[in-house]
């Protein structure tokens, strides 16, 4: 059974996940809009990250999982990523900060 995170834990996890960079774009997964939901698995005492990728065929899930483990090292003891494909990711999910980062890299967005 999953539960909602406290505001404090949600903010700490979100801030930590900003250290996880999309390997192709160099923008963090939070501002890219790749994090769809955060929940707590009471049964396994673990964070559940509902996350997607910019492309379902992306071969870099291992890189993102490793970065996530490093980013969350002092935030949670256990986590798992639930890879989500619906709804599909699109540029409308990028935050305003993410859009600024994309423009700084030369993307027209």
Residue 58, pLDDT score = 78
Q: Which of 89, 97, 25, 24 is nearest to 53 (CA)?
A: 89
Q: How far apart are CA 22 and CA 53, in angstroms?
A: 9
Confidence band (pLDDT; 50, 70, 90) for 1? low
Sign, Cα dihedral of 44, 46, 52, 56: negative
Over residues 9-30, mean pLDDT: 95
pTM score above 0.75: yes
Cis peptide, bond prior to residue 87, ω within 30 of zero: yes
With bands split at pLDDT 50, 70 and 90, how would you rate the model's confidence at 31? very high
Q: What is the mean pLDDT of residues 79-104?
A: 94
Burial of 104 (0-12, 13-18, 19+ CB in 10 A): exposed
Mean pLDDT of the chain: 92
| Residue 71 vs residues 5, 12, 14, 21, 74: alpha-carbon distances, Å | 18, 11, 10, 10, 8
Mean of the pLDDT values across residues 14-40?
95
């Amino acid at each position: 059974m999953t539960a909602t995170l406290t505001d404090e834990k949600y903010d700490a996890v979100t801030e930590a996940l900003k250290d996880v960079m999309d390997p192709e774009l160099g923008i963090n997964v939070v501002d890219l809009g790749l994090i769809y939901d955060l929940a707590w698995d009471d049964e396994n005492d673990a964070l559940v990250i509902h996350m997607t990728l910019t492309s379902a065929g992306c071969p870099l899930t291992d890189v993102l999982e490793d970065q996530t483990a490093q980013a969350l090292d002092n935030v949670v003891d256990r986590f798992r990523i639930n890879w989500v494909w619906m709804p599909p990711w699109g540029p409308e999910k990028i935050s305003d900060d993410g859009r600024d980062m994309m423009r700084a890299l030369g993307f027209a967005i």
